[in-house]
Amino acid sequence: VKVAIAGAGAMGSRFGMMLAQGGNDVTLIDGWLAHIKAIQENGLQANYNGKNVSVHLPVKLQSEVDSTEKFDLVIIFTKSMQLAQMLSDIQGVLGQKTKVLCLLNGLGHVETLEKYVPRENIFLGNTMWTAGLEGPGKVKLFGFGSVELQNVGERKEEDAKQIADFLSQSGLNASYSDNILYSIYRKACVNGTMNCLTTLLDCNMGQFGATSTAHQIVVKIVNEFAAVAKVEKINLDVSELVKHVESCYDPSVADHYPSMYQDLIQNKRKTEIDYINGAISRKGQKYGVPTPYCDLLTAMIHAKEELLEAK
Ligand code: NAD
């Protein structure tokens, strides 16, 4: 199986490294020149559970991919707002049978994928693995995780199961899901509360959870996600989801600053808000479902991006 990782930042590097260590033919495709150069010169370097590991992998600039080379599987790991550009740039390496697995956080990616990839080749997933980028060519990979995935096209369940088995052979702990949209919404509820609230309030998850208004804010937001999901025939269990979100205050993870905080406050990078709370606002408007909390949070994160001149 010839695999390409399209978007080889923190998560793409994790998947690329684990698949390569599993003996697979892996190519990284990315748009960040300094990162590509570092990987070409020194290999992809990782602090892998405390051990220094480096792997040498072919790495290509996304605007210069070689369209004579086709891949069997392309795993997408851009940020949400980079997805369309990546799909447009890699058209040349997508053959008629190339399967495309999208593992980004957030909502609404299928609509974008369908503009570039035939529906029968699209697979959608959700992952509990984590990763951090320390600088060009360097990642930090700690802990354990899992992947759930499902086919978007009709009658492609067997293909989805094969992709899950393939990922699991390299230790990625993947399984087939018969309701991936539920899992994606469930994760989006965590991102749609913890990410934007810690970023706007400048605190970690535990500090937010200790405030007297945390519970009421989380309940309001989760209810907006559930009201929008319901129109799409996905029935979120609000009380289970609120408990799931509030497990972020558990002492084992309470001192964590979510990725949106790291991106915007620490690194002045633009956020994925338009694909989390912003997606709920847009869908809510379309379906006639009021989403005042998501509307305000999306607008405030955009204001914060402007104040910090995020790129
Ligand atoms: P990332 O920011 O590390 O990488 C995404 C892209 O941005 C890559 O192409 C990378 O090269 C580029 N990039 C990163 N820093 C840059 C810089 N300073 N200048 C120019 N380009 C830069 O993103 P990620 O954390 O790998 O996330 C990818 C997707 O996976 C997102 O949808 C995210 O929400 C999701 N996700 C992330 C994690 C995690 O722990 N990081 C966990 C689960 C899901």
Nearest CA to ligand 1 atom 40: 130
pLDDT at position 148 is 98
Give the position of tokens 């970690």: 204
Q: For a substitution probing ligand 1, which of 30, 77, 149, 257 has the most ligand atoms within 8 Å of its CB?
A: 77
CA of 22 to the centre of ligand 1 (A): 22
Q: CB within 8 A of 20, min separation 6: which ones?
A: 26, 55, 57
Report the C-alpha gap between 310 and 306 in whole angstroms: 6
Nearest CA to ligand 1 atom 25: 10
Nearest-5° Cα angle at 106, 105 to 110 = 105
Phi, psi of 152 (to 5 degrees): -95, -40
The full DSSP string for 269-302 is: PPPSGGGTHHHHHHHHHHHT---HHHHHHHHHHH
The reply to whether 115 belongs to the active site is: no
What pairing do the DSSP bridges indicate for beta strands 59-61 and 174-176? Answer: unpaired
Using DSSP's 3-state secondary structure scheme, residue 47 falls into strand
CA of 155 to the centre of ligand 1 (A): 31
Nearest CA to ligand 1 atom 13: 9
Q: For a substitution probing ligand 1, which of 30, 33, 63, 79 has the most ligand atoms within 8 Å of its CB?
A: 79
CA of 217 to the centre of ligand 1 (A): 28
Evaluate whether 70 touches 93 at the Cβ level (below 8 Å): yes
Q: Where are the alpha helices (DSSP H) in the chain?
A: 10-21, 33-42, 83-89, 109-114, 157-168, 180-190, 196-201, 205-209, 214-231, 238-246, 259-261, 277-287, 292-307
Phi, psi of 48 (to 5 degrees): -105, 100
Spell out the per-residue pLDDT of the chain, length 311, in tens: 999 999 999 999 999 999 999 999 999 999 999 999 999 999 999 999 999 999 999 999 999 999 999 999 999 999 999 999 999 999 999 999 999 999 999 999 999 999 999 999 999 999 999 999 999 999 999 999 999 999 999 999 999 999 999 999 999 999 999 999 999 999 999 999 999 999 999 999 999 999 999 999 999 999 999 999 999 999 999 999 999 999 999 999 999 999 999 999 999 999 999 999 999 999 999 999 999 999 999 999 999 999 999 99
Give the position of tokens 């320390």: 134
Nearest CA to ligand 1 atom 11: 9
CA of 287 to the centre of ligand 1 (A): 31
| Ligand 1 neighbours by CB, cut-off 6 Å | 7, 9-12, 30-32, 35, 77-80, 82, 104-105, 127, 130-131, 133, 259, 272
Of the listed 79, 187, 283, 304, which one is catalytic? Answer: 187
Nearest CA to ligand 1 atom 44: 105
CA of 128 to the centre of ligand 1 (A): 14
CA of 289 to the centre of ligand 1 (A): 31
| ipTM for the complex shown | 0.99
Report the C-alpha gap between 278 and 106 in whole angstroms: 10
What global pTM score does this model have? 0.97
Exposed / middle / buried, residue 239 (Cβ in 10 Å: 0-12, 13-18, 19+): exposed
